[in-house]
Amino acid sequence: MTGNAQRPAGRGIDGVRLAVLGKRFESVASRMANTLLRTGRSGVLNMARDFSCCIVTADCELVSAAECYPIHVLRGADLMARAMMEFHPELRRGDAFLHNSPYHGNSHAADHAILVPMIDDDGVHRFTVLAKAHQADCGNSLPTTYMGAARDVYQEGALIFPAVQVQKDFRDVEDIIRMCRMRIRVPEQWYGDYLATLGAARIGERAMLEMGRDVGWETLAEYTREMFDYSERLMIEAIRQMPSGRGVATATHDPVPGTPPEGITVKAEVRVDSEAARISVDVRDNPPACPCGLNLSQACALSACMVGVFNTVGHRVPPNAGSYRRIDVLLGEGTVCGVPRHPTSTSVATTNLGDRVTCAVQRALAQIGEGIGMADGGAAIPAAGAVISGADPRHDGEPFCNEVILLGGSGPGAPHADGWLTMLTMGNAGMPLVDCIEVDEIHHPIIIHERRMVPDSEGAGRYRGGPGFRVEYGPVDCDLEIGYVCDGSVNPAKGARGGEAACPARHYRRTVSGELVEVPDSSAQYVLRNGESVISYTPGGGGYGPPREREPALVAGDVREGWVSVRRAREVYGVAVDSEGEVDEAATRALREAGSEVARKG
């Protein structure tokens, strides 16, 4: 253990400055995030919070990020800031850069990042502040920001901006704005979101300038070094509490057009060296990129691997360039989950295959020992989180295009807790808000008939996964085009350490006559007619540990609350629940003993 006692004497770490300035950096990032949340126009920003705000040093190292999706922010800001500096060696105050290129450090084309170099009063570039927001539309060839079937970036169709100057002297470069207005659907909504993102970056810039003037740039530079050392020490501490070992796990994404018929299987090899306090994640041995939109960008591949690690250590270790020193992520060139080569499409990089990589990493960790790793989370993204578009009959046929977040995948069982219900994807880790029914119905010509938990759909375990939900909605007085790329209908979430798999995702269309018709689960893009609806069974999360080791009182609670049926409690969990909803102790003991008998014979 590296406690205070072992702290190198006289190395001048200042625990007080660390606390005070840490709080101030946090304050800057949260001020930026607040601006984006409150002023964003599209649902993906103001409800789903699909954005990130962070601060990197002039050396492009991540210092601090606001509460946001890990897949968005763990890695990528560093790469994007580097690209900005490479393409624009002379940076001036008043500059801002639009960056959405997955070939230069961004996540995917639908995430528009605004980078503002923070230049001090002497003209020195000190930090870069970055605000990145998922767009409701990014000018793809179809009205969706997730083009699962795109052969390449050309078929995606989005405009790609590799750190392109969008403001000079605090004024828009109108050429760029005009290009976007000509290519992006519902341009007013895009421009509103652009303003919100830019506003967030400018507010961050202003706040950093104030802080630097207040405490001095040298002090801030010292602080960031200390913060990195501090975070590294906490990471060392966390890894030393883990068992050493090696785990290899695979995870398979359901097939979509462009993938092999059996889908894409990714493999992660994880090594924990407790003594050296290092973790390595190797995903080099993976198939070459596919002619579809599932491939990961470099930023998402790095982040997806790290999410799997941080899900075990993260709540005690701040994610920044300091704690990252202890994690080695090895990526291949041109693979499905490595560094993509232009024009490989990475349209869906932030969700689907990235989640599979995360799940492989955390199940590989679970192999190494008890108490670490997690099961699979419910896969991304069912029709409950589709991009919907059409013409709104209530407003003279005004076009609309937006992503609804009625629900998504449920969370995986973990070593100490059940799955988080509104996890949505592993990459966004439950951070988004979930749409209000009434807000969605006022914003779009739709009616949401149902959003209800489906009993017995969880991956059973000592700590069970979250159950799936059934969500049904359809258009009102118009047609509605919907698009989604759902994984997890062929390959449901797996359990870890004896935990069981969850129920898969499923989709149906209810016709006007009430009949249920099968519709595609993955790579779906179709039109619902007036009076029809889509039914989306969202995928549950896998369980952690054997279900028969689950605390009987927890099982009885699940039965009373309608999460698990009496029958499943008996058959899967080995718990007898009486008519009052209480545990029948004797019968439970008998069931569990019989169960272990079977297990021994088996």
Partner 1 sequence: MRLSADVGGTFTDLVVEHEDGRLELFKSPTTPDDPATGVFDVLRLAARAGGVSLERLLGGCALFMHATTRATNAVLTGGAGRVAFLTTRGHPDILLLREGGRVDPFDNTVPFPEPLVPRALTFELRERIRADGTVHEALDEAATREVIAGLGAAGAGVEAVGVCLLWSIVNPVHEERVGELLEALLPGVPYTLSHRLNPSLREYRRASSTCIDASLKPLMSAYLSSIGERLRAAGFGGRLLAVTSQGSVMDAADLARAPIHSINSGPSMAPVAGARFARDEGGARTAIVADTGGTSYDVSLVRNGRIPWTRETWLGPRLRGNMTGFPSVDVRSVGAGGGSIARVDAGGMLHVGPESAGAVPGPVCYGRGGTRPTLSDAALVLGYLDPDFFLGGSIRLDARAARAAVERHLAEPLGLGVEGAAAAVLEVASENMVHAIEDITVNQGIDPREAVLVGGGGAAGLNCVRIARRLGCAKVVIPGVGAALSAVGALMSDLSADFSRTAFTTSHRFDFERVNATLAALEAECRRFMSGRGTGALEQGIEFSVEGRYPHQVWEIEVPLSRPRFEAPSDVERLVADLHDLHEEMFAIADRRSHIEAVTWRARATCRLPRSASGRLVEAPVSGTGSRRRLASFDGMSRSDTTVRRLEAMREGEALAGPAIIESGFTTVVVEPGALARRTGAANVVIDVRSGEGDS
Choose which of 56, 85, 118, 203 interacts with partner 1 (CB under 8 A). Answer: 203
* Cα distance between residue 252 and residue 511, in whole Å: 32
Structure tokens at 81: 């800031």
Report the 10 Å Cβ neighbour count for 448: 20
Residue 579 DSSP one-character state: T
- Which residue among 177, 195, 478, 519 contacts partner 1 (CB under 8 A)? 195
What part of residues 526-555 is at the interface with partner 1 (CB under 8 A)?
none
Q: In the complex, what is the shortest distance from the CB of residue 428 to partner 1, in angstroms, rounded to a whole number?
A: 8
Asked if 35 touches partner 1 (CB under 8 A), the answer is yes
Binding to partner 1 by residue 506, rule CB under 8 A? no
Sole window of 28-36, 259-267, 383-391, 591-599 interacting with partner 1 (rule: CB under 8 A)? 28-36
List Cβ neighbours of 34 (8 Å cut-off, separation of 6 or more).
none
**CA pair distance 289, 134, nearest whole angstrom:** 24
Determine which residue in the list 119, 149, 386, 429 makes contact with partner 1, applying CB under 8 A.
429
Residue selected from 90, 122, 218, 438 as contacting partner 1 according to rule CB under 8 A: 438
Q: Which of 67, 175, 262, 370 binds partner 1 (CB under 8 A)?
A: 67
- Count of residues that interact with partner 1, criterion CB under 8 A: 101
**Residue 194 tokens, joined:** 């652009």
Selected range binding partner 1 among 22-30, 111-119, 246-254, 261-269, rule: CB under 8 A: 22-30
- Contacts to partner 1 from residues 470-499, by CB under 8 A: 472, 476
Q: Which of residues 445-474 bind partner 1 (CB under 8 A)?
A: 447-453, 466, 469, 472
Helical H segments across 273-430, by residue range: 298-313, 321-324, 352-368
| Selected binder of partner 1 within 124, 182, 330, 442 (CB under 8 A) | 442
Q: Is 216 in the site for partner 1 (CB under 8 A)?
A: no
Choose which of 24, 151, 278, 325 interacts with partner 1 (CB under 8 A). Answer: 24
Binders of partner 1 among 357-376, rule CB under 8 A? 374
Give the tokens for residue 432.
């988004």
Under a CB-based contact definition with an 8 Å cutoff, are residues 569 and 581 in contact?
A: no
Q: Which amino acid belongs to residue 503?
A: C
Beta carbon of residue 15, minimum distance to partner 1 (angstroms, whole number): 5
The residue within the footprint of partner 1, chosen from 421, 501, 572, 583 (CB under 8 A), is 421
Site string for partner 1, 143-182 (x = CB under 8 A): ----------------------------------------
Q: How far apart (Å, rounded) are the C-alpha atoms in residues 116 and 192? A: 18
Site for partner 1 in 232-261 (CB under 8 A): 233-234, 237
Q: Tell me whether strands 111-119 and 245-253 are parallel, antiparallel or unpaired.
A: unpaired
The answer to whether 193 touches 40, Cβ cutoff 8 Å, is yes
Specify the residue, 298 or 323, whose C-beta has the smaller distance to partner 1. Answer: 323
Query: In angstroms, what is the minimal distance from the CB of 319 to partner 1?
Result: 8
Give whichever of 174 and 561 is closer to partner 1, judged by the CB atom.
Answer: 561
- Token readout for 315 is 């709540």
> x/- site string to partner 1, residues 392 to 411, per CB under 8 A?
--x-------x--x-x---x
Which token pair is 46? 């103001």
Among 560, 567, 589, 599, binds partner 1 (CB under 8 A): 560
**Binding-site member from 143, 263, 332, 430 for partner 1 (CB under 8 A):** 430
Cβ neighbourhood burial of 185 (10 Å; 0-12, 13-18, 19+): middle
Q: Does 296 bind partner 1 (CB under 8 A)?
A: no
Phi, psi for 193 (deg, rounded to 5): -70, -35
Burial per residue of 353-391, b for 16 or more beta-carbon CB atoms within 10 angstroms, e otherwise: bbbbbbbbbbbbbbbbbebbbbbbbbbbbbbbbbbbbbe
Closest CA to 491 of 547, 451, 542, 563: 542
Q: What is the C-alpha to C-alpha distance for residues 77 and 329, in angstroms, rounded to an integer?
A: 16
Give yes or no for residue 354 binding partner 1 (CB under 8 A).
no
Residue 339 makes CB contacts below 8 A (sequence gap 6+) with 298, 301, 331, 332, 333
